[in-house]
Amino acid sequence: MEFFTSFNLAWREVLDVLLVTAIYAYIIHLVRGTRAVAVIYGLVLVLLVYYLSNELGLYSLNWLLTNFLGSIVLIIIILFQGDLRRALAQMGAGRFWKKPQLAETIVDELAQAVMAMAKAKIGALIVIERYEPLGEVIERGVPIDAVVTASLLSTIFHVGTPLHDGAVVIRRGRLAAAGCILPLSSKLKAQSLFGTRHRAALGISEESDSLSIVVSEERGTVSIAMGGRLTTSLNDLRLRRVIKNALER
């Protein structure tokens, strides 16, 4: 009982602990399932070796790791520059107090258009903006600013139309632009099953938190890229579910 009576915790200390906990929880949520996890494991291993070298008297190794860890802040910035940029962009975009929304009717129009194009083997690439703004991507395309409908999407991606080779970007429930050029990922270079559209979808998902839907022109399959990962062979039900789950996160 004496411990509890003498234990005095100021509100500033409680606030300090809560803020640090929230920051760590957000960092874990941010890097979970990304390439940054492997880098974090590597840094933890280096710290463990540093501790053991100090305890076992391995002076040369300890000196080397001391100099290495002396620039740890700079090393973290270099290694996690993409993740840090994404975290700051998400915070600035208001991830904590607003969620991207897509009406049920728009999801229906999207799914209807995508499955119809997949059946006809018409290639398509549709990017849905989430928290991070895609203003630079939209500016490089042709402005549309129209209601999202299955007929409009099918017309844009119809073979022979001027905009069918680029990507369509959906922002705040409207078709913002078409014919957009996306960065290409280097992950799928050696895989012949995936073409330029899949690499572009994966590339924009690596640089932003957007959701990309790809229709393969060769195989008529539907894939989704998000967070640097590609999910393939989606049917109508799974496509709708993935879109809804992504926008609720």
Taking the complete model, does pTM exceed 0.85, yes or no? no
Q: In 3-state terms, what secondary structure has residue 169?
A: strand
209, 86 contact by CB (below 8 A): yes
Domain residue ranges of the chain, discontinuous segments joined by +: 2-79, 104-248
CATH of domain 104-248: 3.40.1700.10
Q: Is the pLDDT of residue 6 over 60?
A: no
Q: Is the pLDDT of residue 4 over 60?
A: no
Output DSSP code: residue 194.
-
Output DSSP code: residue 107.
H
Q: Over range 47-66, report the average pLDDT.
A: 86
pLDDT digits over 63-111, tens only?
Answer: 888 888 777 777 777 766 666 666 666 565 555 545 556 778 889 999 9
**Token output for 13:** 């200390």
